[in-house]
Amino acid sequence: MRNKIIIIIVLLSTVFSVESYGQQDAQYTQYMYNTISINPAYAGSRGVLSIAGLHRSQWVGLEGAPRTQTLNLHTPLGKKGKVGMGVSIVNDQLGPTDETYFDIDFSYTIKTSEQGKLSFGVKAGGHLLDVCFNCLNQYNPNDALLQSNIDNKFSPNVGARIYYRNSEKWYVGLSAPNLLETKHFDESSLSVAKERINFYLIGGYVFDMSDSVQFKPAVLFKAVSGAPLQADLSANFLINEKITLGAAYRWSAAFSGLVGLQLSDSFMIGFAYDRETTELGNTQFNDGSYEVFLRFELFNNRDKIISPRFF
């Protein structure tokens, strides 16, 4: 029972010889603070050197469940800040698979109005895949398909995005992080695991509720061929420019609670907890999903600090 997730994802695609599709990209609840992992056009948009890390443990208690770590940094280049550059590393573990993505992000921003800025972004990088078939509970130890592990199989990666923001009030972005549909197994074998293009649409708006409270609803839509449309809806309150409290709903999947602390102008920490609304959430092996987010920003001009940025 505890290996059910692994059996479905891995054995069905190998033993039963099907071509598997799905939403393969890593999933985030605190996507509103981890935007560059979804959209490279965001690179440099904060106006300072920004370094962020995130750890997600999904379906805690279920053996082989997903675990994700991300590390990214980005900064504007030059005095005008029209060009942005960033570096992103994502490690995603699921059962016997271990995937590492490393990308360089570039953005170019043009001013469309007094308050509006439109950014175009591209990314280029690679992907390493490890699959440890020896780590599985093999019911047929003589199965030839499970005798050879996959070690550091490299695949190139390119992506493109656009991102628009209007002052500090609202933003919207569209992205396709991976435009190459990579096949991870040989076509001569009985199975093919193929990555599909994932499309992301992200947006948010900041409302000033009072002098001490701001409210920001945000949305993230994710679409990929062969899987249902995924929608994440969130609502966060920033109190006294220090404390963020919020809730989120992943359509037909989970409810989430979010807490953030702006410990200083430079340092923020965030925490999120998800509880599944599917049958998986009712199992005794699933204690929910957890995320921890850290962000550090290096300011070289304190005049840029007006208030903590919501996005």
State pLDDT tens for residues 198-233: 899 999 999 999 999 999 999 999 998 777 889 999
> How many domains are there within the chain?
1
Whether residue 152 contacts residue 131, with contact meaning beta carbons closer than 8 Å, is answered with no
For residue 71, give the CATH number of its domain. 2.40.160.60
| Cα(159)–Cα(252) distance, integer angstroms | 28
Q: Mean pLDDT for the chain?
A: 82
Task: Give the residue from 285, 287, 262, 263 showing the smallest Cα distance to 275.
Answer: 287
Asked, for residue 306, whether it belongs to a domain, the answer is no
Which residue has better confidence, 76 or 168? Answer: 76
Asked, for residue 269, whether it belongs to a domain, the answer is yes
Q: Examine the pLDDT at 301 and tell me if it is beyond 70.
A: no
pLDDT of residue 13: 40
State pLDDT tens for residues 119-155: 999 999 998 998 887 777 666 666 666 667 788 889 8
Looking at 66-75, 153-162, 240-249, which range is the least confident one? 153-162
Asked, for residue 8, whether it belongs to a domain, the answer is no
Q: Examine the pLDDT at 297 and tell me if it is beyond 50.
A: yes
- Domain extent for 144: 25-298
Which residue has better confidence, 135 or 166? Answer: 166
Asked, for residue 244, whether it belongs to a domain, the answer is yes
**Average of pLDDT values for 44-56?**
92
pLDDT of residue 146: 62
Asked, for residue 11, whether it belongs to a domain, the answer is no
Under the banding of pLDDT at 50, 70 and 90, the label for residue 46 is confident
Q: Which residues contact 144 (CB under 8 A, 6 or more apart)?
A: none
pTM of the prediction? 0.82
pLDDT of residue 239: 95
pLDDT of residue 9: 41
Asked, for residue 170, whether it belongs to a domain, the answer is yes
Under the banding of pLDDT at 50, 70 and 90, the label for residue 300 is low
Asked, for residue 63, whether it belongs to a domain, the answer is yes
Asked, for residue 168, whether it belongs to a domain, the answer is yes
Task: Give percent of the chain above pLDDT 90.
Answer: 47
pLDDT of residue 16: 32
pLDDT of residue 179: 82
